[in-house]
Amino acid sequence: MQSWFPFIPESASTISGDVDAVYFYVSGVTVFFVTLISLVIIFFVIRYRRRNAFEIPRPIEGSHKLETLWSVIPLVIAMSIFVWGAKVYFAQYRPPQNALEVYVVGKQWMWKFQHPTGQREINELHSDSGCPSSRRRRRRCGSCLPRRRQEADRRPQKAGSNEETRRH
């Protein structure tokens, strides 16, 4: 299914919509505050510019309400990002109940899968239709990790749905 946003790759997992939502939230908050702060800086530069070289401004007293406000607002935003991100993270890495455990070994250019029954597969994972799976990684190498969005939560295909279905 193609995304509504043209720069996002095609969704290949059940959790990618939630990951995208967190990403857009963080991006939106960033764009909002960069724009707000830039406009406020421009306003203050124009409004309070020094009109002559000998002008001395009057001292400014602090405001406890303002200082509390600009401490609490970022705290609330940061905690909302943390809670939402943690919820998505744990949803992605928590295996479904009664999941079939599949042992996975990542090599430099391939994946090796081994089912509890002893069946082995290379680069393709097949299971019964509707059967949730849980992967246990025995070894990972940095050059062979999947691209997180497209492969980390990919659900197994129905056995026999691919012409190249191989059972070892």
Q: What's the gap between Cα 103 and its chain centre? A: 25
Domains of the chain, start order: 16-93 (1.10.287), 100-158 (no CATH)
Kindly give the confidence (pLDDT) of every residue in the chain, 168 residues in length, as a single tens digit, with 9 standing for 90 and above. Answer: 555 667 777 877 788 889 989 999 999 999 999 999 999 999 999 988 878 878 787 888 888 999 999 999 999 999 999 999 999 999 988 877 777 788 888 888 888 888 888 888 888 877 765 555 555 554 444 443 444 444 444 544 444 444 444 444
| pLDDT value of residue 32 | 96
Phi and psi torsions of 104, nearest 5°: -125, 135
Q: What is the pTM of this model?
A: 0.61
User: Would you say 95 and 132 are in contact if contact means Cβ atoms under 8 Å apart?
Assistant: yes
Name the nearest CA neighbour of 153 among 76, 94, 71: 94
